[in-house]
Amino acid sequence: MIRTITALLFAATLILSFGVGTPARASDSIEVIFETHAEIIIKGSRRTITPAIEAFRDSGLPEAQIVLETWRAKDLWVRKADNRFFRATTEDRKTYDLLDIVTGEALGRAAKKELRQIKPNSGVRGLISAALVRFQLSDPDPEVRRSSLAAIQRDPAPSHLAALEASIDKEDDPGLKAEKRRLAGLLTIQFAEAPETRVAAIRAVSSDLGIDVRAALNPILATRIGVYTAAPEGNVAARLTIGSDIGADEAYALLVAQGAAAPIPDEEKKAALAEHIDGGMVGGVPVASLTDPAARDRAYARLAAAGRVPPSPTAEERDAAIAAHRFYAVYEEPNPAVTDAASEALESIGTMVRSYEVLDLSLDALSLASIYFLAAIGLAITFGVMRVINMAHGEFIMMGAYTGFVVQQLIPSYTISILVALPLAFAITFAAGVTLERLVIRWLYDRPLETLLATFGVSIALQQIAKNIFGTQARPLTSPEWLDGAWDINPIVSISWIRVAIFVLSVVFLLFLLFVLNRTRLGLEVRAVTQNPRMAASMGINPDYIRMMTFGLGSGIAGIAGVAIGLFAKVTSGLGQDYIVQSFMTVVVGGVGNLWGVLAGAGLIGILQKGIEALNPSNTLAAQTYMIIFIIIFIQFRPKGMFALKGRAAGD
């Protein structure tokens, strides 16, 4: 007996598998399915339709997909006479051309009243869609497979799990195969029946940083607050303490939901009191004394006792009611093994996330530091050599940024315009710096504080001129496409290419300046003037020339920094002001006359600012405040900066 059944099944399997290979017969099979399930298809009820959909889905026929899609698109018609199914088109809405569902072959005409359109409701359509997923997941086109994966990821449903798992083995694209495995794991975590399967799936993702993994795990740990008089039931997460874990009001609200007496809000009490004022008295309490909350409670209690207002539980009653109950956070997920595994996995993911966030933060700090370095290095050079602070340095940065803007108006290609703007900005601000030095600063070398003020005058004039020329609105400086987007190292660590470029730029400048200062004649003379101007002059170095060149160099670098900053910040006339104080801080913290000092200062300030921001991410203003306070305190310990000149060379 058993043997015969096995033999029959084997034969059936053979027939089926042959059927797959021969379209002529497949069409027959579709027909057969329609025939078998005609009744429930026509009825179209969500509760009874499943066998029909499954029959198509499991038929293994490629045409089944077309049938299901047609059905879902409400394009399926049935001829009342013989319950045959067709697609139908019409021109006059009276007579319809009947077409074969799969091939589109014309199969005759029929009047409208002979036909019935199958209009699946949304529930049925959902079931059809789920069934279609299986076809899409094994569609020959990898793009279709990919987009269907994405669709599942967007809106996962339990029904996807089986389809997904079934498609994994047949997947031949290794990337898609891994993605399918991963998604199947996530679906298993959420929808599988057996707890062991889910636990295993959870363990498998405990080092996956994807946000979707956390999104799948977090709902497992969702809790509700349960109120119990005795031992709690269910999968308890923790007992809640009144006052710290849960507020008394919130706790009492839960009791109210269970039937405890609802408290009357103060506003309503007050309105009720106002309604019952009677000759300057409410419930025997004079109205004038109702400025005292206790008097109000007394008056209300009297009114309630007289039955004129609904009673409100007193504070003592509330406390007693709360004390009589225990409050627990209870997992919605009943199985403790699953919740334990989920919390373990989340914890290990959390640890990884935090360490990667530190890395991400360090990259942020590094990029901020390189911006400050670029902004401050020119200032440091001029300050180091001449001991004067150039308050217009920020405006040179602004000039550089506007140079970039103007060049972009003239040259349409962003790549070329940036390449033109960088040297042009250098040239323009170099010239501006030399002009400023020749006209103003050189007359004030023995009065450093007045240089600070005079250059401030230049600064406000330049700002206003920029405003008059370019207006007050922010001008965009667009980066070339190859700098768009970010370098995503993993789901947590990413850094925009612009910042990478600025980092590279500042490294280039560091190397360039190291070369100029340490390996060239100009650098030697600059260092000589920095350390001992009088001695340098007596050795035949022309300090005037050196100062002019240094000032030009420092200003020129500011111009280049301006182009770089303009790529990610809005270019306005106040652009320089946003960076000038940080640049000063960088120089002050680092110490003058030393490139490494500026580097260290920029690094310290970048790290500090990002670090403080990370501690209080919602408030970047506070972060800057604390950073400046930190710097003021830092100056206490290193008044001359981190890399100060010592001894007699310090000139104090």
Partner 1 sequence: MTRRRVPFVVRNPSVLVFLGLLAAFTLGVTVLSEATGIGLISTSMVKTLGKTLCFCLIAVAMDLVWGYCGILSLGHFAFFGLGGYMIGMWLMYARTEMIVVEALAAQPIPPTDAEIEAAIGNQIFGVVGGSEIPAIWMFADSLVIQLALVVLVPGLLALVFGWLAFRSRVTGVYLSILTQAMTLALALYLFQNDSGLRGNNGLSGLQNIPGFEQTPQSTISIAFLWASAAALGLGYLLIAWITSGKFGNVIRGIRDDEARVRFLGYNVEAYKLVVFTLTAVLAAIAGALYYPQAGIINPAEIAPIASIYLAVWVAIGGRGRLYGAVIGAAVVSLASSWFTGGQAPDIPLGFYTISWVDWWQVLLGLGFVLVTLFAPKGLGGLVDRLVRR
Partner 2 sequence: MTTDTLLEVSGVSVSFDGFKAINDLSFSIGEAEMRAVIGPNGAGKTTFMDIITGKTRPDSGDILWGEPTRSLLKLSESQIAQLGIGRKFQRPTVFEDQSVADNIMMSLKAHRQPWSVLFHKFTQDDGQRIREIAEEVLLVDHLERSAGDLSHGQKQWLEIGMLLAQDPRLLLVDEPAAGMTLEERNHTTDLLREAAKTRAVIVVEHDMDFVRKLDCRVTVLHEGSVLAEGTIDHVTSDQTVIDVYLGR
Where does this chain bind partner 2 (CB under 8 A)?
646-648
**Closest-CA residue to 49 (of 123, 103, 107):** 123
Q: Is 423 in the site for partner 1 (CB under 8 A)?
A: no
Q: Is 285 in the site for partner 1 (CB under 8 A)?
A: no
Query: In whole angstroms, how close is the CB of 623 to partner 1 at the nearest point?
Result: 9
Burial-class residue 405 by CB neighbours within 10 Å (0-12, 13-18, 19+).
buried
Q: Is 216 in the site for partner 1 (CB under 8 A)?
A: no
Which H helix or E strand runs over 38?
helix 23-43
- Phi-psi region at 60: left, alpha or beta (left = phi > 0; alpha = psi -120 to 50): left
CA separation for the pair 109, 114 (Å, rounded): 10
Query: In whole angstroms, how close is the CB of 231 to partner 1 at the nearest point?
Result: 40
CB burial of 320-355 (b: ≥16 within 10 Å; e: otherwise) equals ebbeebbbbbbbebebeebbebbbebbeebeebbee
Partner from partner 1, partner 2, none contacting 637, C-beta within 5 to 8 A by type: partner 1
Residues of span 358-417 touching partner 1 by CB under 8 A: 383, 387-389, 391
What is the DSSP code (8-state) at residue 389? -
Q: Is 157 in the site for partner 1 (CB under 8 A)?
A: no
**DSSP per position, 550-574:** HHHHHHHHHHHHHHHHHHHS-B-TT
Query: In whole angstroms, how close is the CB of 137 to partner 1 at the nearest point?
Result: 49
What is the DSSP code (8-state) at residue 101? T
Q: Is 459 in the site for partner 1 (CB under 8 A)?
A: yes
Nearer to partner 2, 423 or 639 (CB): 639
Nearer to partner 2, 112 or 638 (CB): 638
- Work out which of 32, 460, 511, 649 binds partner 1, going by CB under 8 A: 460
Q: Which of these segments, 65-73, 353-361, 413-421, 463-471, binds partner 1 (CB under 8 A)?
A: 463-471
Partner from partner 1, partner 2, none contacting 647, C-beta within 5 to 8 A by type: partner 2
Partner from partner 2, partner 1, none contacting 47, C-beta within 5 to 8 A by type: none
Residues of span 288-327 touching partner 1 by CB under 8 A: 288, 290-293, 296
Could you identify the residue written with the tokens 């991963």? 182
Nearer to partner 1, 228 or 470 (CB): 470
CA angle 507, 511, 513 (to 5 degrees): 115
Q: Please name the amino acid found at residue 578.
A: D
Helices assigned H by DSSP within 532-619: 533-538, 543-568, 575-590, 595-615
Partner from partner 1, partner 2, none contacting 646, C-beta within 5 to 8 A by type: partner 2
Could you identify the residue written with the tokens 């080092």? 207
- Work out which of 106, 178, 248, 629 binds partner 1, going by CB under 8 A: 629
Partner from partner 1, partner 2, none contacting 648, C-beta within 5 to 8 A by type: partner 2
Query: In whole angstroms, how close is the CB of 293 to partner 1 at the nearest point?
Result: 5
* Residue 606 neighbours by CB distance under 10 Å: 23
Q: Is 418 helix (H, G, I), strand (E, B) or coil?
A: helix
Binding site for partner 1 (CB under 8 A): 270, 273-274, 277, 282, 287-288, 290-293, 296, 383, 387-389, 391, 440, 443-444, 447-450, 452-454, 456-465, 467-468, 577, 581, 584-585, 588, 619, 621-622, 624-625, 628-629, 631-633, 635-637, 639
